[in-house]
Amino acid sequence: MSMVAQSIGQKKTMRDAFIERLYDKMAQDEGIFFLAADFGSPALDRVRASFKDRFINVGIAEQNLINIATGLAIEGCTVYAYAIAPFLTMRAYEQIRVNLSLFSELKDLNVNLIGVGAGLSYDVSGPTHHCVEDISIMRLLPNFHVLSPSDWRMAETFVDYTIKHKRPKYLRFDGKPAEPLYDSTDAIDVEKGFCELAAGEKVCLISTGFMTHRALKALEALKDINPCLIDMFMLKPVRDDALFEVLKRYETIITIEEGFINNGGLDSLIANVLNKHQSNIRLRKLGFNDKYVFELGDRQHLHALNGMDEGSIINEVRGCVK
């Protein structure tokens, strides 16, 4: 098994890593605004102190967050709109649809939605704070790019991408600090959108965000089977031809996501790629079934309850090669 990644290094949140890099950009470019819906991070404190007229806390008002961001972007500013992921994407969905997705058909609007708390990051806060719909609903919107980093090193590299591509984007960040998966950023080709973390045989695991950590752990117990692992971090647009070139080497693909399955998420993205290439590769899906999670417990416990923990991934892979 060839590995380009392993879990070693400093624990950090994606948002801190991203904002630290963005700080330098804001120091160079007066046209960059950072808007927050009363949500912070340690790294953001420095931004607030240094750029008093370009850091704006709009209050607990996600709809206005998007509208203000739109107005600034119309005038050519590069804007970051920062909030807790489910509230950012779902409270303000119609503002996002009309003012960003739809308007981008006609005008370059560089608005970067930073949603913190992807999946079950906020495990014990319950289903209002779980974000298990965002991949589906944000991929749906024309003109959006959707980025789902798996570690803070990757999140940090996305800063350049957000400045370069003058269009609306959604970045779904995990809420919890974690060690990096990637030793360096050399293996991260943002435009390509995915990284083959481990080449293998017969079975290919595809995961996004935090679930890539889970999948990587599961691989350690699957050395005898040697499955492949793909970290999928660009959920829109998808380089489907390049992706299929990798997928076609396998008999079974297993998608792993902290989202509802069969409803437009990572699994649907892969199904579309297979369908486009008229492939009969078997597709298995790990994620939440069509129900919300009220059970309490930490993320590990909730994943186990929903068939998404390491043990479940291992069982799924073993079941596929029987």
Partner 1 sequence: MTMDDKKRTDLMNYLKEKALWVRRETLKIHAVSAETRVASSMSDVEIFVALYYGGVLRFDAKNILWPERDRLIVSKGHGAISLYPIFADTGYFDKSELTTVGKAGSFLGGIPDPIIPGLETVNGSLGHGLGVACGVALALRKSASNAKVFVLLGDGELYEGSVWEAIMFAAHHRLSNLTMIVDNNKICMLDYCKNVLDLGCIEDKFKVFGWNVSTVDGHNMEEVYDSLMHLKTANGDRPKVLVANTVKGKGIPQLENDSLCHIKSLKVEEIDRLLSDPLLTVAGEVM
- Least distance CB 110 / partner 1 (angstroms): 13
Q: Which residue among 13, 70, 89, 110 contacts partner 1 (CB under 8 A)? A: 70
Toward partner 1, which CB reaches closer, 58 or 216? 58
Evaluate whether 214 touches 313 at the Cβ level (below 8 Å): yes
Contact between 246 and partner 1 (CB under 8 A)? no
Phi, psi of 206 (to 5 degrees): -125, 125
Residues in 24-43 that interact with partner 1 by CB under 8 A: 30, 33
Contact between 142 and partner 1 (CB under 8 A)? no
Residue 248, CA atoms < 13 Å, CB-side half-sphere = 12
Residues in 78-137 that interact with partner 1 by CB under 8 A: 94-95, 98-99, 102-103, 106-107
Q: Which residue among 64, 143, 226, 300 contacts partner 1 (CB under 8 A)? A: 64
Q: Measured between alpha carbons, how far is 123 from 306 in angstroms, rounded to an integer?
A: 13
- From the list 75-83, 121-129, 188-196, 230-238, the region that binds partner 1 by CB under 8 A is 75-83
Contact between 74 and partner 1 (CB under 8 A)? yes
Evaluate whether 80 touches 41 at the Cβ level (below 8 Å): no
- Least distance CB 199 / partner 1 (angstroms): 46
The Cβ of residue 133 has, within 10 Å, a number of other Cβ atoms equal to 19
Residues in 175-194 that interact with partner 1 by CB under 8 A: none
Question: Pairing mode, if any, of strands 228-232 and 194-199?
Answer: antiparallel
Closest CA to 319 of 304, 307, 305, 302: 307
**Count of residues interacting with partner 1 (CB under 8 A):** 30
Tokens of 5: 């990644």
Q: Measured between alpha carbons, how far is 44 from 55 in angstroms, rounded to an integer?
A: 9
Residues that bind partner 1 (CB under 8 A): 30, 33, 53-54, 56, 58-59, 61, 63-64, 66-77, 94-95, 98-99, 102-103, 106-107
